[in-house]
């Protein structure tokens, strides 16, 4: 994904000209959420060893929220952008005390969904903002989702319909797509489910003077 270093704000933009905002992510969903709110960002991938960070957090007895925040901060810290506001985000899923990672392949995705079927789970959606390497804000949203007791025939049809697209999603579903059919009930901010707690982030950016109030 391009870093879009030559972005130009519109004259009537809600965003001030400086500092620029960088999203430390390749996530199309997170970028789309910000841009739909009128926030122009450049996107730069942050390649960190997520598995190693999670192992270290477990070894230190950290909970899911702390681990998600640690991952988000590591991604933001990976980006070197002088003067810029750098946003790092990460999302983890917990169900009955178990942490779920992105499925490695389609059989793994099927196994995850069978374990989540008929259960409530929490998405721990963390966002950390850095400037000049210093953390200036952090937040965790915790939307809760109840997966319905669907049939295995439905599950197999769903997996064929979605294909490899769900392998990049924690939980093996896209709520903005056919994954919505998996659920009976949802509580929490929709944007946080998609990967970024946008309302809280916008409130911070207004307070920091990056967007107009």
Point out the residues that are catalytic: 90
Beta strands in 48-176 (DSSP E): 85-95, 98-100, 120-131, 134-141, 144-147
Q: Please name every residue paired with 86 in a beta bridge, in sequence order, or none if there are none.
A: 22, 130
d(CA 19, CA 124): 28
For residue 167, the 8-state DSSP code is G
d(CA 179, CA 172): 8
| Residue 127 burial (10 A CB sphere; 0-12, 13-18, 19+) | buried
End-to-end CA distance of the chain: 30
Place of tokens 């049809």: 157
Record the tokens describing residue 141, joined without a space: 């949203």
d(CA 169, CA 102): 6
């Amino acid at each position: 994904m391009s870093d879009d270093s030559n972005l130009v704000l519109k004259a009537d933009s809600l965003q001030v000209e400086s500092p620029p905002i960088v999203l430390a992510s390749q996530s199309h969903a997170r970028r789309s959420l910000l841009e739909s709110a009128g926030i122009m960002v450049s996107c730069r991938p942050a390649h960190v060893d997520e598995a190693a960070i999670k192992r270290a957090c477990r070894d230190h007895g950290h909970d899911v929220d702390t681990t998600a925040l640690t991952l988000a901060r590591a991604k933001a810290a990976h980006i070197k952008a002088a003067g810029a506001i750098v946003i790092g985000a990460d999302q983890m899923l917990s169900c009955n005390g178990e942490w779920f990672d992105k499925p490695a392949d389609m059989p793994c995705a099927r196994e995850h969904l069978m374990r989540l079927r008929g259960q409530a789970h929490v998405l721990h959606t963390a966002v950390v903002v850095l400037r000049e390497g210093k953390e200036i804000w952090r937040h965790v949203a915790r939307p809760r989702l109840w997966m319905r007791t669907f049939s295995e025939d439905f599950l197999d049809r769903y997996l064929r319909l979605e294909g490899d697209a769900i392998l990049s999603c924690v939980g093996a579903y896209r709520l903005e797509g056919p994954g919505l059919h998996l659920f009976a009930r949802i509580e929490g901010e929709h944007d946080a489910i998609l990967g970024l707690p946008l309302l809280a982030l916008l409130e911070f950016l207004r307070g920091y003077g990056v967007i107009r109030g």
